[in-house]
Amino acid sequence: GACGTVLIGIFLFKEPVHFWRLFFLFTLIASIVGLKFVSA
Q: What is the DSSP letter of 13?
A: S
> Does pLDDT of 19 surpass 90?
yes
> Does pLDDT of 40 surpass 80?
no
Phi, psi angles (nearest 5°) of residue 18: -105, 160
> Does pLDDT of 35 surpass 90?
yes
d(CA 40, CA 35): 8
Q: Is 14 helix (H, G, I), strand (E, B) or coil?
A: coil
Residue 31 · residue 12 · CB < 8 Å = no
Q: What is the pLDDT of residue 1?
A: 87
What confidence category does residue 2 fall into, taking pLDDT thresholds of 50, 70 and 90?
Answer: confident
pTM of the model: 0.75
d(CA 36, CA 11): 28
